[in-house]
Structure 1
Amino acid sequence: MVKAIRGFDHDRGEFVPFATVTILGEIKKYFRDYCWGIRPPRRIQQMQADISSATERCLQSDSRQPDIETIAEEIDAGIDDVREAMAARSCFSPTSLDQPVRESGRPLGETIAGETSDYEFIDDWVTIEPLCRELDDDERLLLRLRFVEDKTQQEIAEIVGVSQMQISRRLAKLLARLRESAMAADAA
């Protein structure tokens, strides 16, 4: 308000419209500069606001959540830019390292791998590689989707065409079998 009062020139118009624009600008500037845990580029921050507005308009007109292509068209932006801006939403309030993740309930911080030596990696690889060769194509696909592509069980279920519960059971059974085989190989 003080900035609006100091910057107001009565010869250029009324105070209320000028003050409104000035105050809104300062509020946006404050949120942009101080409320992000990890600050993305300004264009991404602005696109966030555009995406929110476009999503609201589409929800009101179509009564459904718009897809990325619709949002990109609505705000006249590239699909990759929209994806980047949507992914940056988590920068506003980043996930706590103490927050439980997925089905395991373990804190996120415990799931982040620490540094391992090349020797440990080679040792693990020598143990697991022959076991993976014995798996059928469906089992290798499950492992690749879950641990290489980091898909959730629900996403894997949609790709494979079965329920999430079936994926959960298959993965548990497969991992138990691999664990048992790896322990037997280490003991030998």
Structure 2
Amino acid sequence: MTVSASTAPPQEEAPRASTPAPAQAPALEAVPEPAPDTAPEVPPERRRGADTRALTQLLFGELKELRPGTPEHNRVRGALIEANLPLVRYAAARFRSRNEPMEDVVQVGTIGLINAIDRFDPDRGVQFPTFAMPTVIGEIKRYFRDNVRTVHVPRRLHELWVQVNSATEDLTTAFGRTPTTAEIAERLRIGEDEVLSCIEAGRSYHATSLEAAQEGDGLPGLLDRLGYEDPALDGVEHRDLVRHLLVQLPEREQRILLLRYYSNLTQSQISAELGVSQMHVSRLLARSFQRLRSANRIEA
């Protein structure tokens, strides 16, 4: 008997294993982020400065306990110098506009640093940079005052030149251009002549060779442009020699020479002037020349 598919009894499904519902994950509590460090970060330069000050204080404590001249004392002293060299470079940077090699300025400032180390007393409670800076700057200023300038400038003019430079920078910033001499003089309440003198004094650090060719303009050196050959210069020595020899002649022979070579008179005119013969005038002139030649040590 054929059973229709539609009338076939349904097959029972195998019981499925019951799968438990996944448990709900507990809610994660928000973990608070660590609070940012509110302390400002110390710049490396300031940190190095603090380290240098601490090292300097420690080395001075050791130096105090050592006897001068011993190898250990020299070692600690050298460490102090090396640790404080940045102080010298900082002071030397103030003189960068002087057109002097910075190595020379640092070397001079190091001499001031050594003097400050030898005189410093840590028991007085003063920081070493505060004590050493005036000594270092003073040594550098003394170097510029005594060794760098080609022409010595009075102290008052040098101090005024520093004020003129400062006023020039301030007025340049304020006006946006280079100030005039009158504006600088009005700012400092001094005369324009003093301002010009200060400017000239500022140029005395380096001398320019008169024979050096001018750069850029293709012109000859200052010596060729400012000087000239005086045609009468060669006669200066001769005139002085003749003046010295003439005073050794008798008065009448001096007059004859003056009439002949300064008044341009002939021998006939001289004879008429003096009331003597022309031959006698000629003999007197010849005798005068002979005396002059014999007294002239150069020709002799």
Question: Aligned-pair distance for 1:12?
Answer: 6.8
**Residue of structure 1 equivalent to 2:180:** 67
Any residues of structure 2 matched to 1:84-103 within 5 Å, and which?
84-100=197-213
**Residue of structure 2 equivalent to 1:32:** 145
What is the distance in 1 between the residues matched to 2:118 and 2:202?
Answer: 35
Question: Aligned-pair distance for 1:104?
Answer: 7.3
Question: Aligned-pair distance for 1:34?
Answer: 0.9
Q: Which amino acid aligns with 1:91?
A: S
Q: Which amino acid aligns with 1:80?
A: D
What is the CA deviation profile of residues 142-182 of structure 1, one whole-angstrom value per residue up to 9, with x for unaligned ones? xxxxxxxxxxxxxxxxxxxxxxxxxxxxxxxxxxxxxxxxx
What is the distance in 1 between the residues matched to 2:158 and 2:219?
Answer: 32
Residues 1:5 and 2:117 are matched in the alignment: yes
Q: Which amino acid aligns with 2:201?
A: A
**Residue of structure 2 equivalent to 1:172:** none
Q: Which amino acid aligns with 1:60?
A: T
**Residue of structure 2 equivalent to 1:146:** none
- Runs of at least 4 residues of structure 1 off by over 6 A? none
Greater relative contact order, per chain length (Cα 8 Å cut-off, separation 6+): 1
Unaligned runs of 5+ in 1: 121-188
Unaligned runs of 5+ in 2: 1-112, 236-300
Question: Aligned-pair distance for 1:55?
Answer: 1.0
Structure 1 pair 5–72 and aligned structure 2 pair: CA distance change class (3 A): farther
What is the distance in 1 between the residues matched to 2:154 and 2:228?
Answer: 28
The aligned length equals: 120
RMSD: 2.8
Structure 1 pair 7–54 and aligned structure 2 pair: CA distance change class (3 A): farther
What is the CA deviation profile of residues 98-142 of structure 1, one whole-angstrom value per residue up to 9, with x for unaligned ones? 23359771222233234542899xxxxxxxxxxxxxxxxxxxxxx
Find the partner of 1:109 among 223, 230, 248: 223
- Structure with larger Rg: 2
Find the partner of 2:191 among 78, 81, 87: 78
What is the distance in 2 between the residues matched to 1:72 and 1:16?
Answer: 37
What is the distance in 1 between the residues matched to 2:191 and 2:153?
Answer: 17
Structure 1 pair 64–16 and aligned structure 2 pair: CA distance change class (3 A): same
- The percent of aligned pairs where both chains have the same amino acid is 30
TM score, norm. by length of structure 1: 0.54
Question: Aligned-pair distance for 1:60?
Answer: 1.7
TM score, norm. by length of structure 2: 0.35
Any residues of structure 2 matched to 1:176-187 within 5 Å, and which?
none
Residues 1:21 and 2:134 are matched in the alignment: yes
Paired residue secondary structure (2:219): coil
What is the distance in 2 between the residues matched to 1:8 and 1:51?
Answer: 35
Question: Aligned-pair distance for 1:36?
Answer: 0.9
**Residue of structure 1 equivalent to 2:295:** none
Q: Which moved more, 1:37-46 or 1:98-107?
A: 98-107
